[in-house]
Amino acid sequence: MRTTRLSARLILLGIVALLAGAAGLAVHATGAFDSLELKTIDARFHIRGAEKPRQPIVIVGLDQSTFGALNLFPGALPRRLHARLIDRLHRDGAKLIAYDIQFVGRRDPADDNALAKAISAARPVLLATSDTNNGYLPVPAGRNPRSLGAVVASTGAPADSDGIYRHMLYEPVVIKSFPVRAAELVTGRPVAASNFPDNEAWVDYAGPPGTFRTVSFSAALSGAVPAREFRGKIVIVGDTAPILGDIAPTPESSTPMAGPEIQANALETILDGFPLRSAPGWLNVLLIVVLAIVAPLLALRLPSLFVLGAALVLAVLFLIGVQLAFNSGSILSVVDPLFGLVLGTGGAIAADALVERRQRKRLEEALGRLLPKPTAFFISYRRDDTRWPANSLRAALAERFGPASVFMDTATIAPGQEWPTRIEQAIRGCSVVLVLIGPRWLERDSSGRRRLDDPADWVRLEVEAGLRRGDAATVPVLVEGITMPDASELPDVLKPLARRHAIVLSAERYAQELDEFVDAIERGLIQDYVSRQAPAADEMATAAPEPAAPSAAAVPSIRLAGLPRQAHLSAQPPAWALTGTPSRPAPGDDPDHADGSDDSGQPRPDPLRAPRGE
């Protein structure tokens, strides 16, 4: 019976884990959350912050001040001025001159000749162009670049679905991209295409616009910029004035970045060995699966509130780990694993709520009018006598009716809480007090005094408090072959316990009989128990002084051996159930001490206010 129920819970949570993992993998495979994933990458750039450029790259920009200083309209810059700048950069010792401006078509012949002469003198010079399936546009000025010592490269770059430039291409169409060819000219080695999965690679942006050193075209042309600013440097020349339109959004800032600086970031990424890469696909799949199943696994042992808290903590730790991985150069998937975590957590909580509803329904059917109470069962036991049976009983009840339905001191009391206050609340708020009686329940201490005779003995106080409860059932449970103590063996305040029907759990068949006991509770054992005690309680209200307590042999016990599985106690109880009626059962007051005194005639302490004894 227990194994079947446990398997059902495992199956339910297993289905949740399977569905959460499958959903996470499905959205990962279809790219349903790709646009949101890209936003998380932008956030990671912002969190990491700007970094100092690591490569000697300088940008010479055609900015607004250039057109003002030269008294020219944007886009009307004569090519002879570009020729003069190339000559100047070559004299100043630039390591590489890379022009992110396309010299397409012929213009003034003198200007075109001056430009070609300057390029040939400073060779190799990298020139930007556009390529198509039919080839690339010839530059400069329609001439053969090889004859001039020029190298052409495509300015093609991919924008993501949201228009932001996060990647660079290896070969846009038929020729290599601008940053790839620039890197090859600087290093003298080819850039491997394997660094560009699907022809793309991440650009590891150093920071927002303005991170790279930028000087004005007019300042560089006039000699206002010292030669040391260019010596041994990679110089990228291009349009930086927004009016020229060569600007684009990047993940580093909402402010558009000029095209030459985007090329500078891409070039530095290649020269640094592609420090920012996507994590292996199998790792993202593993993260999705792990985060999807963690909540269902925790739900096997923890209540919903703890599962939710653990999931939130895990999500925070995961995000921290993702950011640390990004700072180290690895881009992990964020949205898809978190989606799996949310589904797994929500499903686990929903499954737990379903189980709790079913458990509550079982409790209502099992305890009837004794509910609602904050706690259904209070387990009273001696740690050195019946710890193992008590733990087994608690586990069985918690599995059937829910962990919140059972109170057991070492399992339920939080560190730092006062024992009397917490025990008082538990006893007063329970429906059933289960008193576990084992071989050492009546044992004497080192002084030869029985512990039950100590008014401060906590087990005695627990049982006495349960017996005083008129709206709860106090049920003795006999374990390890013990017989019900005779009333003469009990203190006066506990004598009513001897007149209670006892449950017997034999040592030989303990596990089976424990399961049968819980089954019997679910089928109404406690309701039947209370109904048989109630007439006796009514009789006590008008009874004469109580006669001597009956012996243990006169009080029938409930032995669960041979329990018929289909029996229901609220109908016609089987032979093993509550047979016989005790002469004077007392669910509450002790008629021998109606004045509240103990065996010595002294007032008894309130069991719910007395300090705990050892």
pLDDT (tens digit per residue) in 268-300: 999 999 999 999 999 999 999 999 999 999 998
* 317 plus 355 within the same structural domain: yes
Closest CA to 210 of 167, 262, 163: 262
Alpha-carbon gap, residue 278 to 276, rounded angstroms: 7
Q: What is the pLDDT of residue 600?
A: 44
Model confidence at 573: pLDDT above 80: no
Alpha-carbon gap, residue 346 to 131, rounded angstroms: 51
Chosen domain end from 217, 242, 271: 271
Q: Show the CA angle centred on residue 611, arms to residues 605 and 614, nearest 5°.
A: 115
Q: CA quadruple 285, 24, 41, 176: dihedral positive or negative?
A: positive
* 261 plus 379 within the same structural domain: no
How many distinct structural domains can be found in the chain? 3
pLDDT band at residue 53 using 50, 70 and 90 as cut-offs: very high
Residue 407 domain-assigned (yes or no): yes
pLDDT band at residue 540 using 50, 70 and 90 as cut-offs: very low
* 59 plus 195 within the same structural domain: yes
Model confidence at 563: pLDDT above 60: no
Q: What is the pLDDT of residue 419?
A: 52
26-40, 61-75, 196-210, 535-549: the lowest-pLDDT one: 535-549
Alpha-carbon gap, residue 329 to 47, rounded angstroms: 14
Alpha-carbon gap, residue 430 to 100, rounded angstroms: 81
Model confidence at 201: pLDDT above 80: yes
186 or 485: which carries more pLDDT confidence? Answer: 186
* 355 plus 377 within the same structural domain: no
* 141 plus 80 within the same structural domain: yes
Which class for 436: exposed (0-12), middle (13-18), buried (19 or more C-beta within 10 A)? buried
Chosen domain end from 305, 336, 359: 359
Sequence-ordered alpha helix ranges (H) in 368-486: 383-401, 409-412, 419-428, 458-468
* 250 plus 169 within the same structural domain: yes
pLDDT band at residue 527 using 50, 70 and 90 as cut-offs: low
Residue 611 domain-assigned (yes or no): no
165-169, 391-395, 488-492, 519-523: the lowest-pLDDT one: 519-523
* 339 plus 383 within the same structural domain: no
Chosen domain end from 317, 333, 359: 359
* 247 plus 112 within the same structural domain: yes
Q: Pairing relation of β-strands 135-136 and 131-132?
A: antiparallel
* 400 plus 506 within the same structural domain: yes
pTM: 0.69
Residue 68 domain-assigned (yes or no): yes
Model confidence at 175: pLDDT above 70: yes
User: What's the CATH code of the domain at 505?
Assistant: 3.40.50.10140
- Beta strands per DSSP E along 247-321: 247-250, 253-258, 277-278
Range of the domain at 336: 2-37+291-359
* 267 plus 226 within the same structural domain: yes
Asked if 273 and 136 touch (Cβ cutoff 8 Å), the reply is no
pLDDT band at residue 409 using 50, 70 and 90 as cut-offs: confident
Q: What is the pLDDT of residue 396?
A: 84
Residue 282 domain-assigned (yes or no): no
351 or 182: which carries more pLDDT confidence? Answer: 182
* 330 plus 409 within the same structural domain: no
Model confidence at 314: pLDDT above 90: yes
Give percent of the chain with pLDDT exceeding 90: 49
